[in-house]
Structure 1
Amino acid sequence: MASFIRVFQRLPTVYTSFGRGFAAPAAAASPAEHGGPKELKLTLASPVKAIYSNTTVKQIDVPGMASNMGILPVHVPTIAMLKPGVLSVYEEDGKVSKFFVSSGSLSMNIDGSCQILVEECASLDELDSNAAKQLIDEANKKSLDSTATDVQKAEAGIEFEVANEVLKAAVGGGGGH
């Protein structure tokens, strides 16, 4: 029993040495220095059109479900769901294009390619703040309707959330990224 306790007490020391030995070389250089991708290739598409098709860009800011994310060429491979909000594309020539997306998914690959598939996508200059305000009012009425089912109230909540994000994007220009 005493020998088991001595071995057990030494395990943290053995484990720490082992962990440090493998972690040190990985932190020494960035992914680009290891031959990682130097370009970010974006494909952004909705069911009706492809906005970008394997186009080289500098950076993408997306409204992820967990949080807003900035994507660069050396970003860790990721799969994420998008929530309603502003998606910003920083192009090679310095131009920043901003779009409102209702929802969708993002797939960032180890080769520096990024595919973003969205249900709806509109340039911010296409948004109508008055229409968004009207949708917010309608969604509020639906959610307060005593004859509405739970499903109808849930749908009204989603409509409210999307319309509210459209309004923020239309009025504020999506400057939150």
Structure 2
Amino acid sequence: LRMSSLRVFSRLATVSRRGFAAAAAAKPAHGAEELRLTFASPDKAFYTNATVKQVDVPTLAGTVGILANHVPTIGVLKPGVVTVTDAEGKQVRLFVSSGTLSMNIDGSCQVLAEEAVKVEDIDENLARQELESATRAASEGSEVARAEAGIRAEVAEALIKAVSGH
């Protein structure tokens, strides 16, 4: 019985490897030479299947620069600036609080943000006030309240960094 199980496992592993290799070698259905971006938050769509040159996205693993033909990937956004470079080289900078990134084999990229705002619309003074408030709250209250205050402080720091360009 043990040898029989090993043979079945060996055959399944071989089939699985062939399947992954075939999928990796397959040509995308269309348009992977273009980067098509969909970027939205719950209240606004910034880009809908728009052809762009590059997208730089802040993720938990670091900033990811995405161009056409990028390897398929998924990621979790951290607070920071998403920079979209259009075909003419013009850049748009948008601040995101959190969200997800997915890059697909067909050249489509989705950035879904919990909250997003153009960097030029950020009020630095309000962000600094929020940072002070969150820093005070991080040393008070329950463990949950302190954790929430820590998140607020992280977002406020990222807002200030986005506006000041540091």
**TM-score, length of structure 2 as denominator length:** 0.81
Match of 2:12 in 1: none
Shift of 1:112: 0.4
Match of 1:96 in 2: 91
Alignment of 1:30-69 (within 5 A): 37-69=32-64
Secondary structure, in 3 states, of the residue corresponding to 1:117?
A: strand
In 2, Cα distance between equivalents of 1:121 and 1:143: 24
Alignment of 1:105-144 (within 5 A): 105-144=100-139
- Unpaired segments ≥5 residues, structure 2: 1-20
Match of 1:171 in 2: 164
CA RMSD of aligned residues (A): 1.8
In 1, Cα distance between equivalents of 2:146 and 2:92: 35
Q: 1:160 aligns with which of 150, 153, 159?
A: 153
In 2, Cα distance between equivalents of 1:94 and 1:143: 42
- Unpaired segments ≥5 residues, structure 1: 1-21
The runs of at least 4 consecutive aligned structure 1 residues that moved more than 2 Å come to none
Task: Point out the structure with max Rg over C-alpha.
Answer: 1
Shift of 1:51: 0.3
**TM-score, length of structure 1 as denominator length:** 0.76
Match of 2:5 in 1: none
8 Å CA contact retained: 1:36, 1:74: no
Secondary structure, in 3 states, of the residue corresponding to 2:53?
A: strand
Match of 1:12 in 2: none
